């Protein structure tokens, strides 16, 4: 019997690999002869870097970069040396969690994201997986591009300032100072929103308010963003402003599309491809997946459902384990999860249930009992 385990993290309890290895231990307790392969799983958001780095044998790297406002921040990113791949979460440098009170959308910049990319290039990385959720910025990716060497100049030939306030001042664009290595790089962007760059459904109007954009600011910033879009189209010869996802992360999606030839992909699909999950799922009997809480949102395209679809494609039975099961979880059965189980074995407080050692023991024990049943049924048949 062959089993592939690909389970998302249980936030606050177990990482993806910790949960996966706990399941493996439980399966082996039931039947040591079962072949078990553990793969990391994430959806492109928080925790993706850690899941991929530790799942693929990489290294975590700490760099000091420009934060979303004034001052430096310490930002982690992952490096998989064997494949020259960098795994970056833009929120590590330019995330809204880095701004406690003073939200200034005209000033917030993605400059630190560009510094992280540059550092990874200097270490030999040429493949990039970048999650762009949780941004504090609305600068169209201007800061990131400035950090990578692009020059955006005003009518006097001076560099425009960082942040959204610089967008409307752009007169000319130059790549004379861009490192030649950037052309060798391939960018895969985890992006699960479909908003365009501008307009009432664009970056500023939809996502701006959570970053401090007021009603009075909306038309001003949106027009500046549109100006940036027009100048970019004239420079590159292609207008990506209406592409789905261009408005992600305050327009950072647009910058990746237009200047770095990036591809915007579903976060879960990107991770599944990165870890070569489908290759592992071929010719297996069971696929084990799950996350902290299974509910209706899980069925709407989150990680476990992505794994289940691969299981169905290759004829494997898919089982999900979760810390808790919420109303609407039955939709997961429709989406390909054959059966799901909570791992709690007794009534405890949430804090107790989320303790890593408790969650791990519950995961091991639940997996063991499931596979004891499976093994027993095979003997009968």
Taking only the tens place, the pLDDT of each residue in 324-335 is 999 999 999 999
Give the three-state DSSP class for 272.
helix
pLDDT of residue 152: 98
pLDDT tops 80 at residue 100: no
pLDDT of residue 193: 87
pLDDT tops 90 at residue 198: yes
pLDDT tops 90 at residue 11: no
pLDDT of residue 104: 93
Q: How far apart are CA 230 and CA 315, in angstroms?
A: 49
Q: What is the mean pLDDT of residues 204-213?
A: 94
**Average pLDDT over all residues of the chain:** 94
Q: Which CATH architecture has domain 2-41+279-380?
A: 3-Layer(aba) Sandwich (3.40)
pLDDT tops 80 at residue 301: no
Q: What order of strands is seen across the sheet that includes strand 339-342?
A: 35-40, 2-7, 286-294, 317-325, 339-342
Per-residue pLDDT band at 165 (split at 50, 70, 90): very high
Per-residue pLDDT band at 56 (split at 50, 70, 90): confident
DSSP string, 242-264: TSTTTTHHHHHHHHHHHHS--EE
pLDDT of residue 150: 98
- Structural contact between residues 292 and 11, judged by C-beta atoms closer than 8 angstroms: yes
pLDDT of residue 350: 87
- What sign does the dihedral 139-144-145-149 (CA atoms) show? positive
pLDDT tops 90 at residue 65: yes
* Spans of all domains in the chain: 2-41+279-380, 48-267
Q: What is the mean pLDDT of residues 278-292?
A: 94
Q: What pairs with residue 2 in β-bridges?
A: 35
Q: What is the mean pLDDT of residues 185-194?
A: 93
Report pLDDT digits (tens) over 80-97: 999 999 999 999 999 999
pLDDT tops 90 at residue 204: yes
pLDDT tops 90 at residue 133: no
Please determine, looking at this structure, whether the domain spanning 48-267 carries the CATH number 3.90.1510.10.
yes
pLDDT of residue 379: 83
Q: How far apart are CA 46 and CA 167, in angstroms?
A: 28
């Amino acid at each position: 019997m062959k089993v592939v385990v690909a389970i998302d993290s249980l936030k606050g309890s177990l990482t993806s690999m910790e949960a996966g290895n706990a399941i493996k231990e439980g399966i082996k307790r039931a039947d040591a002869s079962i072949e078990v392969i553990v793969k990391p799983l994430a959806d492109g958001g928080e925790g993706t870097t850690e899941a991929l780095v530790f799942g693929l044998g990489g290294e975590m790297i700490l760099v000091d970069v420009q934060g979303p406002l004034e001052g430096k921040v310490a930002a982690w990113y992952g490096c998989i040396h064997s494949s020259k791949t960098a795994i970056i979460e833009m929120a590590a440098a330019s995330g809204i969690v880095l701004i406690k009170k003073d939200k200034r959308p005209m000033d917030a910049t993605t400059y630190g994201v560009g510094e992280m990319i540059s550092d990874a290039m200097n270490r030999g990385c040429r493949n990039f997986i970048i999650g762009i959720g949780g941004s504090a910025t609305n600068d169209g990716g201007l800061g990131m591009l400035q950090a990578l060497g692009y020059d955006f100049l005003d009518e006097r030939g001076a560099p425009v300032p960082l942040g959204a306030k610089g967008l409307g001042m752009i007169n000319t664009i130059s790549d004379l100072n861009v490192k030649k290595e950037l052309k060798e790089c391939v960018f895969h962007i985890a992006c699960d929103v479909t908003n365009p760059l501008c307009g009432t459904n664009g970056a500023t109007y939809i996502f701006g308010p959570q970053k401090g954009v007021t009603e009075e600011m909306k038309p001003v910033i949106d027009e500046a963003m549109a100006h940036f879009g027009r100048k970019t189209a004239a420079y590159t010869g292609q207008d990506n402003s209406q592409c789905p996802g261009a408005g992600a992360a305050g327009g950072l999606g647009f910058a990746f599309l237009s200047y770095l030839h990036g591809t915007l992909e579903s976060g879960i699909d990107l991770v599944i491809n990165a870890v070569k999950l489908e290759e592992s799922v071929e010719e297996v009997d069971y696929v084990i997946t799950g996350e902290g809480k299974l509910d209706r949102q899980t069925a709407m395209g989150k990680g476990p459902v992505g794994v289940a679809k691969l299981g169905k494609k290759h004829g494997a039975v898919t089982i999900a384990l979760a810390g808790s099961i919420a109303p609407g979880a039955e939709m997961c059965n429709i989406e390909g999860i054959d059966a799901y189980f909570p791992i709690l074995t007794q009534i405890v407080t949430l804090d107790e249930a989320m303790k890593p050692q408790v969650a791990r023991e519950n995961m091991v024990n639940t997996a063991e009992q499931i596979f004891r049943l499976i093994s027993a049924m095979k003997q009968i048949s």
